[in-house]
Amino acid sequence: MGAKADRKGEIAVTDPNEAVNFIIKNSVKFAEAKAQRIYLEQFRSTKKSLLMNESTEKAANAREQYAYSHPDYQELLSGLRAAVATEEELKWKLESARLRVEIWKTQSFADRQQDKTMR
């Protein structure tokens, strides 16, 4: 029984080979998404510091307020949100494919047991 993909590239039928192929194909995308998320998380404090240094205010809290309200910082946060969404989507698609293999294994075992009792 072959697997058919739906419009979003997900595996619709439990075929362990297709599920494993899906995992292999998307593992690189997941790694890139995770790397992007981690980079943006780490860069966030650097960007805040750079923006605080731009501020002409003397008080630290005023410089921090400037940094947090700056459009560049807001854009970084939007990018971080998108990176987390991409990573999570890929994570759960990969987990779903892994679970499809587990379901197939369980169903195959049950089928074999049923065949034994029918003989």
Question: For the chain, what are the domain ranges?
Answer: 16-111
Cα dihedral value 107, 94, 3, 106, nearest 10: 0
Q: Where are the alpha helices (DSSP H) in 5-56?
A: 16-54
Which are the contacts of 72, defined by CB distance < 8 A and separation ≥ 6?
Answer: 47, 51
The whole-number pLDDT of residue 51 equals: 96
**Looking at the chain, how many residues does it have?**
119
Give the torsion sign (CA, 49, 55, 56, 59): negative
85-105 confidence digits (pLDDT tens): 999 999 999 998 889 888 888
11-62 confidence digits (pLDDT tens): 555 678 888 888 888 899 999 999 999 999 999 999 999 999 999 999 999 9
**Number of helices (H), then strands (E), in the chain:** 3, 0
> Which of the listed CATH numbers 1.10.10, 2.40.128, 1.10.3470, 1.10.287 matches domain 16-111?
1.10.287
Q: Is this structure's pTM higher than 0.85?
A: no
- For the record, the structure tokens of 23 come out as 């995992």
